[in-house]
Amino acid sequence: KIYYDSDADLSLLEGKQIVFLGFGNQGAAQAQNLRDSGIPNERILIANRRDAYAEDATSKGFIVEHDFVKAAFVADILFILIPDQVQPKVFNEQFAPNLKPSATIVVASGYNVLFKLLTFSPQQDVVMVAPRMIGSSVRSLYQKGKGYPCFVSVEQDGTGKGFSIALALSRAIGATKAGAIASSAREETAMDLLAEQALWPNIIMLFREAFSVLKEAGCSDEALCYEMWMSKEPAEIFERAAEEGFITQLKHHSIVSQYGQLNGALSLDGVSTRAHFKDILNNQILSGKFSRHLTNIEPELELEGFDNPLNRLYEQMEQSELAQAEKRVRERLAGLL
Ligand code: NDP
């Protein structure tokens, strides 16, 4: 089911104190949209450590609270808009013990709710309002009077009004203009993590292998980089796919290309890929194995250099033929790109 502006009652937010934990990509965009939707500035509080994000919020006219315990005390509605991996520590230690028993807690990603990494009281509402859009576009589309796709759900309905409040918040941040799609933390997390851990890794692998095969066949670094992604042709293709249809966009390609793509895709049965994707979905994602792993390595993700596992992965990937070739091309073309 898809919900529009007319399904959402903004009056449910009247008199509520709304706290945004975090003023980053989503926090800055959502807080500004909410204010421009008519929520008075004095009803919005930005909870952020004393740094550049806090300064940005102050410069935009918001009231900022650096003490999270104080912010928790006053919140009727709390948007948790800090990175997923740090939410459990910050929320469970500083917000959960101090929140009102009837507070509404809003997440923009289902991850920590699905894996029960956040501690809620039974009377609280826990809702998901998850834009499918980067923060800067959440803001710019709102300013242009347009909406953006968003998933909405109620995960715990302590007050019995959780879903209506979620819809009101979706409208206030500009999401119901294009239609907010009923979803769940489980659905959102399954789709997000499967794309991140199976679909895109396979796409990266396919580009890497195609690059190596063509390089071996004598193609130049420049030709390959431009042919495969630097021309922005793949970006154009995905834009057409979103606008016209995943398959229909093929009609913009030459007949040779259309025939090759359709014939090639239909001759791949996908059986082993499907089994691999199912294995990742069931045994890594939904089983909670990945989330336990991430919880274990989370402190290391704050470290500098190769003590940080993410930096080690980057280093490894940068050794690939594709990455090395692209580096050479970008160095040669420096100033022209
Ligand atoms: P950001 O990385 O932009 O978050 C930055 C904010 O988090 C800053 O205010 C920062 O302030 C604060 N922060 C970071 N670390 C800490 C910490 N240890 N303690 C307290 N505050 C901290 O996050 P996003 O906006 O990208 O993501 C927020 C949520 O939105 C996530 O749940 C994400 O999954 C979801 N989401 C994100 C999308 C996106 O496009 N980015 C799209 C849809 C959903 P400071 O460092 O000063 O403390």
| Range 108-136 average pLDDT | 97
d(CA 278, CA 128): 25
Quick one: pLDDT band at residue 334, thresholds 50, 70, 90? confident
Distance 300 CA to ligand 1 centre (A): 18
d(CA 274, CA 287): 18
Quick one: pLDDT band at residue 336, thresholds 50, 70, 90? confident
Question: Which pLDDT value is given to residue 333?
Answer: 87
Q: Which atom of ligand 1 is nearest to the CA of 90?
A: 19
pTM: 0.93
Torsion of CA 9, 165, 29, 182, to 10 degrees: -100
Distance 279 CA to ligand 1 centre (A): 30
Nearest to 79 by CA among 102, 63, 103, 60: 103
Question: Which pLDDT value is given to residue 225?
Answer: 97
Question: Which pLDDT value is given to residue 62?
Answer: 98
In angstroms, how far is CA 171 from the centroid of its own chain?
19
Please name the residue whose Cα sits nearest to atom 44 of ligand 1: 108
Nearest to 287 by CA among 177, 186, 140: 186
Tokens 């998850």 locate to: 130
| Range 157-176 average pLDDT | 97
Indicate the top mutation candidate among 62, 82, 85, 129 to test ligand 1's pocket, ranked by most ligand atoms within 8 A of CB. Answer: 82
Distance 216 CA to ligand 1 centre (A): 42
Quick one: pLDDT band at residue 115, thresholds 50, 70, 90? very high
Nearest to 2 by CA among 181, 150, 168: 181
